[in-house]
Structure 1
Amino acid sequence: MGIVNARKLSLSEEMTSDFCDFTEHPQSTFGEMLGSNVSKTLRERNGTSMSSSCGSVSVGFPITMMVTGMVGNSLALTLVYISYRKKENKRKKSFLLCIGSLALTDLCGQLSTSPIVISVYRADLRWERIDPSGNLCAFFGVCMTTCGLCALFLASAMAIERAMAITNPHWYSNNMKTSVTKQSLAVIWCLVLVFAMLPIAGVGKYTRQWPGTWCFISTGDTGVPGNMFFSITFAALGIFSLLVTLSCNVVAIRGLILRCKTKSGTSQSSKQWERLTTETVIQLLGIMCVLLVCWSPLLVLMLRMISAQVSSHECNPATTVTSTNVSGREGELDCKFFLTAIRLASLNQILDPWVYLLLREILLRKVCIVANAVSNCSIEDPKENQVVLDALNKESQVCKNLCKSPST
């Protein structure tokens, strides 16, 4: 279908179309959903903008993201491993497990998908050259779904733990065990993997997405059994996870500020509280901003495309890129924006280790210091409070030195 339309263009446009076309053949022609006038207008627009569209897709993006992601997550895993072996406090080990699991999940996602994307670029954007059977597309989709949702749920788990440690430190100290953390992480991974495998079992579908270098959930193929359920569930789970993370972080920030107000004064203890509160609040706000910026565009756009019954795999420049409910220009923009949205979600895998661990020394130190300080707020003996803060300052310095060691 793409080749037939390309022959109607000039010779130079035909060569560009052949290079950019990823030869996707949907089960039902997307043109059946369109009015003839809209189709003609959009084809004319695509004919004049193929070169610019293809030029905007560069192999430099996946290469850069893979290298930076591998460096950051590998460094984070190394730091977590060193810290985990040295720590005896169960609360610290629990949070280190969460941080390490997030870094491992992000690293696995990059290692399993980025080489495929780069290979497709080297094959002139023709997926079938590296995957004649088509099975690699399903594998790519499973990896994208599993690692994406796991990262979101792990962020939610850490947000819940932070909120409990700050708002109810006594219960957290007595009940939070390393075994519970390990079981929770295993449950998250298993459930998300089972969900991601549903298209393999016939519920939903993974399809190649524009410009043909990656595979993801189809949002517009209503002919596939359970496809609407699968795509809507993915978007709903992602949004739910974001809301949980944001809500728990807001609760944690509120708890910190209230505690800081009750400890206001000129003593060393009060100044320590103010510093810890400021640092932790800034970091929590940074985590919230990164999650919103990286994931909101993809999840919101998925819901929009589901409602319009449009999928990015129909964004072949030589074919029509819209539905009866969306204008041609909007459909064209959605295709480019969907690629940008998935790159933002992938960017989250790169930013995670830096936001949670590397740039802020170690979030574990912040949470444990605050949790211990909150736990001792009810003790009215100022000398004991001072001893606790002095000990925490020493621990803080040890963590700083530990965080600096891998980079020297």
Structure 2
Amino acid sequence: MSRRPQCPGPQNGSQPGAMRGNGTARGAEGCGAEGCGAVSVAFPLSMMITGIVGNALAMLLVARSYRAKGSRRKRSFLLCIGSLALTDLLGQLLTSPIVISVYLSDRSWDAVDPSGHLCVFFGFSMTVFGLCPLLIASAMAVERTLAIRAPHWYASHMKTRVTKTVLLGIWLAVLAFALLPVAGLGRYTLQWPGTWCFISTGHSLFFASSFAALGLLSLVVTVACNLATIEALVSRCRTKATASRSSKQWGRITTETLIQLLGIMCVLSACWSPLLITMLKMIFSHTSFEHCKGFSSEAQSSELHKECNFFLTAVRLASLNQILDPWVYLLLRKILLQKFCQAANAVSKCSNEWKERSITLSEETRRTAA
């Protein structure tokens, strides 16, 4: 879903094909300042490669951890992580080549998709591979909360079969939801500046508002469950009177899992909150960013300029989600956590040594003065 804006010329916003420029003129988002030629196909290509490599590595690590002997307690969580990586990988493979093709065609969508069917497919992919990671992240947060706050119920009821059923249900539900515009409820349209397609906020308010509401609801569930998990972990640490080997191992596993969840939660919130909130704002104010398609810095106000640019920034943040998710998981692996702890201990030890030395020097100074 990586994309950068083309630079449409000053066109009349009332014309139906206003967005479908050839990308040769300088226009919106300050392209005249930095030059349209400065944005090349290397940008979406590098983002696609980074996303594919990261998600592929994450899937390999999940597969190796899943087959390990001591991973029975974490298999449901590993299934969620693997499903998240697979979803992001498919999203990259299905959307990035389209973006690259538009770049190679001088950022003219008409040259790549004269029939308009590819625009519908692109909007469908954006919806599926945007909403699925949000819901899977919520499922991960709920799973970890049950594992820590209700371990006995979790051990007897939460089997891998249940996790697979939930994940399959998420995929099927999102696919059915994304197909609503095909049935006439909602619409996928070419978005300003003519390099990508997404849900139209000017046609079916129900479809657009449902997407935004489901996304925000999943974020709220993720945050609430992680806060509940943190509270349970803190409470467990306070009530533990003895620290056996098994409890230490379980504490390490839950801490590692919690940090992974918090990292993914932060990435999801930072990437998707601006776009989802902006969509709801447009729906409640009965406006649409399709008015950006005729944007010209000479004919429109600076306020419109800011709104259109903020919308593009929000979309770019959302597109980064597929790339950042696997790297969050990779960077927060146990080996890196151990390295971090070793470095922190080294710094703490060094600091304590300096304190002891300073105290010793102070005492010697006092004795000398005396």
Q: Distance in 2 between matches of 1:131 and 1:53?
A: 28
User: Which residue number corresponds to residue 315 of structure 2?
Assistant: 342
Aligned length: 324
Q: Is the 8 A contact 1:106 1:151 kept in 2?
A: yes
Separation in structure 1 between the aligned mates of residue 12 and residue 121 of structure 2, nearest angstrom: 18
Distance (Å, rounded) in 1 between the aligned partners of 2:29 and 2:323? 35
The aligned residue for residue 309 of structure 1 is: 286
Structure 1 residue 139 and structure 2 residue 112: aligned? Answer: no
Retained in 1: the 8 A contact 2:189–2:199?
yes
**Letter of the aligned partner of 2:331 in structure 1?**
L
Q: Is the 8 A contact 1:22 1:126 kept in 2?
A: no
**Structure 1 stretch 337-346 or stretch 112-121: which is displaced more?**
337-346
Q: Which residue of 2 aligns with 1:401?
A: none
Aligned match of 2:178: 196
SS of the aligned residue for 2:198 comes to: strand
Equivalent position of 1:116 in the other structure: 98
The structure-2 alpha-carbon separation of the partners of 1:64 and 1:245, relative to structure 1 and needing over 3 Å to count, comes to same
What pairs with 1:158-237 in structure 2 (closer than 5 Å)?
158-219=140-201, 221=202, 224=203, 227-237=204-214
| CA distances 1:260-310 after superposition (whole Å, capped 9, x unpaired) | 111267887887677666655544432332121111111011112223333
Q: Is the 8 A contact 1:159 1:249 kept in 2?
A: yes
**Amino acid in structure 1 at the alignment position of 2:231:** R
- Measured in 1, the distance between the counterparts of 2:29 and 2:144 equals 53
User: For the structure 1 residues 24 and 85, does the alpha-carbon distance in structure 2 shift closer, same or farther, using more than 3 Å as the test?
Assistant: farther
Aligned positions of 1:202-281 closer than 5 A: 202-219=184-201, 221=202, 224=203, 227-263=204-240, 279-281=256-258
Q: 1:306/1:116 Cα in 2 relative to 1: closer, same or farther (>3 Å)?
A: same
Partner of 1:295: 272
Contact 2:87 2:133 in 1 (8 A): yes
Distance apart, 1:81 and its partner CA: 2.4
Q: Deviations over 1:187-238 (max 9, x none)?
A: 110110010011111111111112211110111x2xx3xx110000000000
Asked if residue 360 in structure 1 is aligned to residue 360 in structure 2, the reply is: no
Partner of 1:78: 60
CA distance in 1, matches of 2:164, 2:68: 18
Inter-CA distance 47–204: structure 2 relative to 1 (3 Å threshold)? closer
- Tell me how far apart the structure 1 counterparts of residues 167 and 101 of structure 2 sit (CA, whole Å): 32
Asked whether the equivalents of residues 193 and 292 of structure 2 are also in contact (C-alpha less than 8 Å), the reply is: yes
User: 1:272 and 1:194 mapped to 2: Cα distance?
Assistant: 42
Please report the RMSD computed on the Cα atoms of aligned residues, expressed in angstroms.
3.5
> What letter is aligned with 1:316?
K
3-state SS of paired residue (1:216)? strand
CA distance in 2, matches of 1:24, 1:82: 56
2:33 corresponds to: 52
SS of match in other structure, 1:124 = coil
Question: 1:57, 1:21 → 2: CA distance?
Answer: 22
User: TM-score by structure 2 length?
Assistant: 0.77
Percent identity, aligned pairs only? Answer: 57
Task: Structure 1 unaligned segments of length 5 or more: list them.
Answer: 1-15, 31-44, 367-408
Q: Would the alpha carbon gap of residues 336 and 177 (structure 1) be closer, same or farther in structure 2, given more than 3 Å must change?
A: same
Letter in 1 for 2:332: R
Partner Cα separation in structure 2 for residue 112 and residue 276 of structure 1:
35
Q: Decide whether aligned partners of structure 1 residues 259 and 63 sit closer, same or farther in structure 2, where only a CA change above 3 A counts.
A: same
SS in 2 for 1:316: helix
Q: Is the 8 A contact 2:191 2:198 kept in 1?
A: yes
- Does the aligned pair in 2 maintain the 1:257–1:277 contact within 8 Å? no
Which position in structure 1 is the counterpart of 2:345? none
Partners in 2 of 1:353 and 1:22 — Cα distance? 43
Change (3 A) 1:174 1:214: same
Aligned counterpart for 2:47 among listed residues 65, 71, 78:
65
Q: Does 1:99 align with 2:81?
A: yes
Deviation sequence 1:96-145 (CA, Å, 0-9, x none): 22111111100111111111011111111110101110000000011010
TM-score under structure 1 length normalisation: 0.70
Letter in 2 for 1:51: G
Cα distance change, pair 126–73 in 1 and its aligned pair in 2 (3 A) = same
Distance 2:192 2:311 in 1: 9
Question: Displacement of 1:340 after TM fit?
Answer: 1.5
